[in-house]
Amino acid sequence: MDISVVIPLYNEAESLPELHAWIKRVMDANHFSYEIIFVNDGSTDRSWNVIEELGKSNPEVKGIKFRRNYGKSPALYCGFERAEGDVVITMDADLQDSPDEIPELYRMITEDGYDLVSGWKQKRYDPLSKTIPTKLFNATARAVSGIHNLHDFNCGLKAYRREVVKNIEVYGEMHRYIPYLAKNAGFARIGEKVVHHQARKYGKTKFGLNRFVNGYLDLLTLWFLSTFGVKPMHIFGFLGSIMFLLGFISVAVIGFNKLHDMYCGNPYRLVTESPYFYLALTTMVIGTQLFLAGFIGELIARNAPERNKYQIEKEL
């Protein structure tokens, strides 16, 4: 099979028939053998009925129905596990990504030798409240991942060599950093293609600003793990020792001051006399410990085996 198209979707019933017909048109015109994997991520609208309907008369349509809404990353991951095509294409279900890009994306993987080609929505039809945080986010992602040639990490339209999707695990908000995951897995030939983008025709966006916080935490922990390996606890132990030393020194200084005060009068009062100094020091030490404890929690949560568990209710 040439191509697997993986489409994660949450409440996109109105778009699906149009999207399916469009993909089919492009595939048939280019004589591709293909499958379309719709991953229904707990939609509460008629999306699943529409997929079942499409499946009846179209053997290339496959559907997976999650028991509830898990998020775009688990939906993609599930599609990646099923995909059988040599090239795997992901696209959003809302008709913002154009299936007309598929043949060129396919060519870039099979002929130009890319492992992954990411779409670049150079001219974007989304509100400013979305495009500005996205600019910020892309700049961070570029700096952290060291993939400097990508403008648009989070574009839903991407093409992969099959080995790539079989060797990465997309969880949490990781769909934003798939090129980084691929690079960490050893797939270094990452390219970009300017793609046509359209305004949303039906329904509304599922992503708000709150997802950016989680998205940044995912990036921070991913960067940490891929930079320092799987033994970050050494670093925490090291910082902990320094904190302990700092506490020890301050106790010694206070003790010395007190004794000196009692027996010789104190010419060394300096800054150590101020209670605010100790308050600040204590706050700093406790703050650092809490931050590190929280960070360890974030690391553990992202490595828990259930980070990507999803329940499937039905399949076709």
Q: How many residues lie near ligand UDP (CB under 6 A)?
A: 17
CA dihedral 60, 172, 91, 176 (to 10 degrees): -150
Q: How far lies 60's CA from each of 37, 52, 56, in Å?
A: 8, 12, 10
Q: Binding mask 131-170 vs ligand UDP (x if CB under 6 A, - otherwise)?
A: -------------------------x--------------
Expressed in angstroms, the distance from the first to the final Cα of the chain is 18
Q: Judged by CB under 6 A, which of 96, 118, 145, 221 binds ligand UDP?
A: 96
Q: Restricting to residues 93-132, which ones interact with Mg ion according to CB under 5 A? A: 94, 96
Q: Which stretch binds ligand UDP (CB under 6 A): 65-73, 98-106, 290-298, 300-308?
A: 65-73
Integer Cα distance of 95 and 153 in angstroms = 19
Nearer to Mg ion, 137 or 223 (CB): 137
Q: By CB under 6 A, name the one of 34, 35, 41, 144 that touches ligand UDP.
A: 41
Residue 124 vs 189, nearer CB to Mg ion: 124
The CB-of-94 to Mg ion minimum distance in angstroms stands at 4
Query: Considering only residues 3, 5, 9, 27, which one is a binding residue for ligand UDP as defined by CB under 6 A?
Result: 9
Using the rule CB under 6 A, is 92 a contact of ligand UDP? yes
Q: Which residue is nearest to ligand UDP (CB)?
A: 205
For residues 124 and 194, what is the distance between their CA atoms, to the nearest angstrom?
11
Amino acid occupying residue 54: L
Ramachandran assignment for 178, one of left (phi > 0), alpha (psi -120 to 50 degrees), beta (any other): alpha
Pick from 14, 30, 69, 212 the residue near ligand UDP by CB under 6 A: 69
Alpha-carbon distance values, 25 to 19, 35, 70, 163, 167 (Å): 10, 13, 31, 27, 31
Q: Which of 10, 80, 153, 160 binds ligand UDP (CB under 6 A)?
A: 10
Q: Indicate the residue among 4 and 96 with the shorter CB distance to ligand UDP.
A: 96
Residue 62 CB, nearest distance to ligand UDP (Å)? 16
Judged by CB under 5 A, the number of residues near Mg ion is 3
Note whether 71 binds ligand UDP by CB under 6 A.
yes
Contacts 24+ apart (CB under 8 A), 66-69: 66/39, 66/40, 66/41, 66/42, 66/310, 66/311, 66/312, 66/313, 67/42, 67/310, 67/311, 67/312, 67/313, 68/42, 68/311, 69/10, 69/41, 69/42, 69/43
- Classify residue 229 as left (phi > 0), alpha (psi -120 to 50) or beta: left
207 binds, among Mg ion, ligand UDP, none (CB under 5 to 8 A by kind): ligand UDP
162 binds, among ligand UDP, Mg ion, none (CB under 5 to 8 A by kind): none
- Residues interacting with Mg ion, by CB under 5 A? 92, 94, 96
